[in-house]
Amino acid sequence: MDPWHTGDTIAAISTPLGAGGIGIVRLSGPDAPAIARRLFRPRRPRHAWQSHRLTLGHIVDARGAVIDEVLLAFMQAPHTYTRQDVVEIQCHSGIAVLRRILGEVLAAGARPAGPGEFTLRAFLSGRLDLTQAEAVAELIAARTEAGLRVAADHLAGGLGRRVQQCRATLLELLAFMEAMLDFGEEAPEVYSLDVTHELLAQKSLVAAWVDSYREGRLLREGLLVVIAGRPNVGKSSLLNRLLATERAIVTDIPGTTRDLIEETLDVGGVPVRLTDTAGLREARDPVEEIGVARTRERLARADLVLYLLDGSQPFDEADRAALAELAHRPALAVVNKADLPQTLRDDEIRTAAPLPVLRLSALTGQGVEELKGAILNLVLEGGLSAGRQLITQERHAHHLRNCLACLERADKLVPRRRREDAPWELAAFEMREAVRELGQITGEEVGEEVLDRIFSRFCIGK
Ligand SMILES: Nc1nc2c(ncn2[C@@H]2O[C@H](COP(=O)(O)OP(=O)(O)OP(=O)(O)O)[C@@H](O)[C@H]2O)c(=O)[nH]1
Ligand SMILES: [Mg+2]
């Protein structure tokens, strides 16, 4: 029974395709050494084929013609990523070279690896638990230092260990409940731990993890921030100022920006996906019409809206209407052009919508750092928490929420003092479910389809 065919030797290009210094073709499986011996001609054969050593040589095709000069690493099982024999061929990174070498490897008997299949093998062999395997993808996708730190903690097994510990405690509680159920009064003394106390402790632990997902999700997915406002208020200038580049075209002609412009920016460790939009107004031609429609669509999806106004202009009816629409969403009223004499008053904005008002100048940069602080404040109540124990994956959050619900139900069933006639059976049922939910996170109790789903999101070669 091996639904994943771990006995096959798999191969893939493990580096991104494109011109570069080196590219790697990776093999894992029982035939990896034999395939490598057929294709690799070491420069100094006497020193070749030592495990975990790099060897210089050539990859040749079936007729013996040289394809590329490479460094080959042969890593003998079990001290490898997959715990199988692994070979990595480090060649020059060109699409043609990499494809050619992979082609020869496949012709020699390997099959193409599926997405994430190397990491799947690392998981199946027990080298990584499921949270660690998922952290590989998380680490690769990390866009800020803070995101990287959390992913690295998960990869090192921090999350897996914490969940394991919690699961072990729940199993003890379950054993106690089952003993009460089976033996009642004669339940062995060793089980007389303080159930309610321990249950509460685990419940608040799981609840804290569930809470941390808000922050964790932000770190992983980033925050979608949209700059909106009437034409010419300085939206593109603000985008450029925040990015510190001339990304968007700025002119004094209203209606300069017609399409969405999106860039990612690191604000206090949170990846912010910042979108500059077409100015909101009655469109005067079909292109502008599409631009305004795109702006509205993007606005609907925004996690946070920066509504920009021109402080040197009087308050406008169109602004009042737009602000009123934002009244009950995460939004900031940002008054730009603070370097010019101001005619727009805070209270005019506040009567339109109860939003925080910030003044800045995209031209001089004054107030821009305060804006970053305000963004963090609004979405994270002051910035990322120092702790790294964040839940970052929806899959984990989902099982933790389920687990918490089980623990809450169990807690209601367990009497505050030891009683033989309490509904131990129901409590034990909830506890068993809670344990199962945690087991799904670390991968102890996880089905084939779930694994397929998780690893299919990886890229090939990981
Ligand atoms: N004095 C001053 N001028 C600014 C400031 N920000 C932008 N401007 C000027 O305002 C004009 C419009 O700026 P943009 O950034 O193109 O404005 P926009 O909101 O993107 O305009 P549209 O794309 O047309 O909707 C330009 O001439 C900018 O130089 C500012 O803080 N102070
Ligand atoms: Mg613009």
Q: End of a domain among 128, 159, 193? A: 128
Q: What is the pLDDT of residue 191?
A: 46
376 pLDDT higher than 90 = no
Per-residue b or e along 45-66, where b marks 16 or more CB atoms closer than 10 Å to that residue's CB? eeebbeeeeebebbbbeeeeee
Domain-embedded: residue 24: yes
Q: End of a domain among 380, 401, 424? A: 380
Domain-embedded: residue 189: yes
Q: For the CA atoms of the chain, what is the radius of gyration?
A: 29
Angle between helices 195-221 and 368-380 (to 10 degrees): 140
Domain-embedded: residue 221: no
Q: What percent of the chain has pLDDT over 70?
A: 96
Tell me, what DSSP letter sits at residue 385?
-
Contacts made by residues 251-260, CB under 8 angstroms, sequence distance 24+:
254/279, 254/281, 255/231, 255/279, 255/281, 255/284, 255/288, 256/231, 256/232, 257/291, 258/287, 258/288, 258/290, 258/291, 259/291, 259/294, 260/294, 260/295, 260/298
Domain-embedded: residue 359: yes
209 pLDDT higher than 60 = yes
The stretch 350-376 carries a mean pLDDT of 94
Find the range with the poorest average confidence among 39-43, 210-214, 225-229. 210-214
- Tens of pLDDT along 119-151? 999 999 999 999 999 999 999 888 888 889 899
61 pLDDT higher than 70 = yes
Q: Measured in whole angstroms, how far is the alpha carbon of residue 98 from the centre of its chain?
A: 29
Domain-embedded: residue 220: no
The pair phi, psi for residue 409, each rounded to 5°, is: -65, -45
Q: What is the pLDDT of residue 182?
A: 80
Domain-embedded: residue 140: no
How many other CB atoms are there within 10 angstroms of residue 397's CB atom?
20
Tell me the average pLDDT of the chain.
Answer: 92
**Does one domain contain both 372 and 296?**
yes
Distance CA 333, CA 331 (A): 7
The stretch 350-378 carries a mean pLDDT of 94
- Tens of pLDDT along 165-192? 999 999 999 988 888 888 766 665 544 4
Q: How many residues does the chain have?
A: 462
| C-alpha 220 to ligand 2 mean position (Å) | 28
- Ligand 1 pocket check: which of 226, 227, 230, 232 to mutate, most ligand atoms within 8 Å of Cβ? 232
Give how many domains the chain has, as a whole number.
Answer: 3
Ligand 1 nearest atom to the CA of residue 336, by list position: 31
Range of the domain at 156: 145-215+390-456
**Position with higher pLDDT, 60 vs 175:** 60
Distance CA 450, CA 442 (A): 12
Place of tokens 């294709």: 39
The DSSP-derived string for 320-349 is: HHHHHHHTTSSEEEEEE-TTSPP---HHHH
**Does one domain contain both 65 and 122?**
yes
- Tens of pLDDT along 254-295? 999 999 999 999 988 889 999 999 988 888 888 989 999 999
Which residues make Cβ contacts (< 8 Å) with residue 246, sequence separation at least 6?
240
Q: What is the pLDDT of residue 318?
A: 92
| C-alpha 431 to ligand 1 mean position (Å) | 60
**Does one domain contain both 166 and 304?**
no
Question: Beta partners for 430?
Answer: none
Q: What is the pLDDT of residue 356?
A: 93
Categorize the per-residue pLDDT at 15 as very low, low, confident or very high, splitting at 50, 70 and 90.
Answer: very high
Q: Where are the alpha helices (DSSP H) in 65-157?
A: 95-107, 117-124, 130-141, 145-155
Contacts made by residues 252-255, CB under 8 angstroms, sequence distance 24+:
254/279, 254/281, 255/231, 255/279, 255/281, 255/284, 255/288
**Does one domain contain both 324 and 410?**
no
- Among protein residues, the one whose CA lies closest to atom 10 of ligand 1: 234
Distance in Å from the first CA to the final CA of the chain: 24
Distance CA 438, CA 400 (A): 7
Domain-embedded: residue 301: yes
Q: Which range, 2-6, 111-115, 324-328, has the best average confidence (pLDDT)?
A: 111-115
Residue ranges with CB less than 5 Å from ion ligand 2: 235-236, 256-257
pTM: 0.80
Which CATH number goes with the domain that contains 186? 1.20.120.430
Residues with CB under 6 Å of ligand 1 are: 229, 231-237, 250-252, 254-257, 279, 336-337, 339-340, 361-363
Q: What is the pLDDT of residue 222?
A: 87
Tell me, what DSSP letter sits at residue 416?
S
Q: What is the pLDDT of residue 388?
A: 60
**Does one domain contain both 57 and 193?**
no
Which CATH number goes with the domain that contains 98? 3.30.1360.120
Categorize the per-residue pLDDT at 9 as very low, low, confident or very high, splitting at 50, 70 and 90.
Answer: very high
Task: Find out whether 431 and 170 touch, Cβ atoms under 8 Å.
Answer: yes
**Does one domain contain both 372 and 421?**
no
Find the range with the poorest average confidence among 92-96, 344-348, 382-386. 382-386
Q: Measured in whole angstroms, how far is the alpha carbon of residue 309 from the centre of its chain?
A: 34
Q: Which range, 81-95, 183-197, 370-384, has the best average confidence (pLDDT)?
A: 81-95
**Position with higher pLDDT, 197 vs 384:** 197
| C-alpha 383 to ligand 2 mean position (Å) | 29
Domain-embedded: residue 134: no
